[in-house]
Amino acid sequence: MANPTIQRRRLGIALKRAREAAGKTQEDAAQVMDAASSKISRIEQGVSGLRLTDLGILLDFYGVSGPEADSMREMARAGRQRGRWSSYRESLPTWFRQYIDLEGDATEIHWYHAEIIPGILQTEGYVRTLYGALPAEAAEEAEKQIKIRLERTALVNAGTSDLLFVLSESALRRAVGSPATMVAQLDHLVEVSKRSNVIIQVLPFRADSYTTSSFPFIVLRFGSDSSSDVIYTEDYRDATYLDKYEDVKAYNRLWDDLRAAALGPVESARLIARVASEFKEGRS
């Protein structure tokens, strides 16, 4: 079963297209539903669910019927169910809850990171080092976060998504934990890169191109239609979800530039293995 978050998002996109095709504004839709226009905005963004009775009002107003209407009703029903990660709800920041569902349902993920190894590629030793700096009183919460992070790595083994990564060379050389921890992490990257659904490229310090980014970002794709792409960026205490055409186009262009500037998959695997050897020999 597809997760509720992506079903709400699909319904929101479908309703927005139907509203625009009918020549209606969000204010028009809000008026017929006797609601604030902000509610229509949240529905179209996939943030809020929608009761079937309210959906019926909108479908009639937009002139949608037949199989198209039936499909939207099914999305609405699925969007009201509990997702896989609902049991972890209290342990996940509000701004991250939507991402974790989207990640699990994406058919393709493009991930750029400059400073650390992306979460779904991290080994347990690496993860535990990252959370090891938390105070003792936060140990129980840290264990929950570690469990969530490690469960997310199952996405790599599932093979249900195409996973493409561009890592800055600094992400490989930044020591997280002991040399042994880094060797295990880098060896893991080499092994993971052999999977048919995974491509890992490294942007070396001496790249021919100056294309780079000082901030990480993720492009989540759902099927071949890029109009439903979501760009995810985060900082220390918040996240941003971008889905406007101009934003998606800009980030996809940046992603293409980063891939072009990075080493190819085979050369990248060799560099990762070389850095692992340097950690093993105490030269990093």
Count of domains forming the chain: 2
Q: Of the candidates 54, 79, 104, which is a domain's last residue? A: 79
- Beta-carbon contacts of 233 under 8 Å, excluding residues fewer than 6 positions away, are 215, 216, 217, 218, 239, 240, 242
CA distance 106 to 232: 12
Residue 140: pLDDT band by 50, 70, 90 thresholds? confident
Q: Of the candidates 31, 52, 79, which is a domain's last residue? A: 79
- Say whether both 140 and 69 belong to one domain: no
Report the CATH number that the domain containing residue 51 is assigned in CATH.
1.10.260.40
| DSSP assigned state of 209 | S
- Say whether both 52 and 185 belong to one domain: no
> Using CA of residue 261, residue 266, residue 268, residue 274, what is the dihedral sign?
negative
- Say whether both 130 and 56 belong to one domain: no
On average, the pLDDT of the chain sits at 87
- Say whether both 157 and 248 belong to one domain: yes
- Say whether both 56 and 93 belong to one domain: no
- Say whether both 62 and 156 belong to one domain: no
Residue 56: domain span: 4-79
**What is the identity of the amino acid at 245?**
Y
Which position has the higher pLDDT, 86 or 74? 74
* DSSP code string of 26-68: HHHHHHHHTS-HHHHHHHHTTSS---HHHHHHHHHHHT--HHH
Q: Of the candidates 22, 54, 79, which is a domain's last residue? A: 79
Pair 101, 49: CB distance under 8 Å:
no
How far is residue 110 from each of residues 113, 137, 229, 249, measured CA to CA in Å?
10, 36, 11, 14
N residues, the chain: 284
Of the chain, the percentage scoring pLDDT greater than 90 comes to: 49
Question: Which range has the worst mean pLDDT, 112-121, 132-141, 171-180?
Answer: 132-141
CA distance 11 to 104: 18
- Say whether both 187 and 218 belong to one domain: yes
- Say whether both 133 and 235 belong to one domain: yes
Residue pLDDT, tens place only, 199-253: 999 999 988 766 667 889 999 987 776 777 889 998 888 888 887 889 999 999 9
Percentage helix, strand, coil, to 5, in the chain? 60, 10, 30
